Structure 1
Amino acid sequence: MKKIVMKVSMNCRKCQTKALKIAATVEGVSSVALGEEKDRVVVIGDRVDAFKLAKNLRKKFQAADILTVAEVK
């Protein structure tokens, strides 16, 4: 299982909802949540491709950066 934290420029509640929906559609994702800071998306899943996730988010939001990728026990 991997935990991926991404920084996405989201200005409103609607943008946050869209970002969560986009992240949930990527193959292998088991859970999606907003981070402690409102511009962070936290994705947990098995066999999740962080680059594919970033690419999908960049289609809607121009800025989507991968902050951390870590193994979860």
Structure 2
Amino acid sequence: METFEYKTVTVDCKDMEHSQDTLTAQLNRWGKEGWELVSSLTHPYLGSSQYSLVGLAHRVTLIFKRLNQSGEAAQA
């Protein structure tokens, strides 16, 4: 029976605006390792930056999966 392993990564959207090429390169590296992006969740939060005192910002959690590399069945 096929089993999967999962990876979650949280990215701050304000950081992504300035480094989309870096994010793309990282996604491509994970893809070469067999990770497939299967979902994303957006999390709003109050934050601040050098451009605004306080505002609504977003973090995105990326959820990846790949076939279990260890060959062992996942424990329930």
Is TM > 0.5 for Structure 1 vs Structure 2?
no
| Structure with the higher fraction of residues in helix conformation | 1
Structure (1/2) with the larger strand percentage: 2
Larger Rg: 2
TM-score of the pair, normalised by structure 1: 0.42
TM-score (structure 2 length as normaliser): 0.40
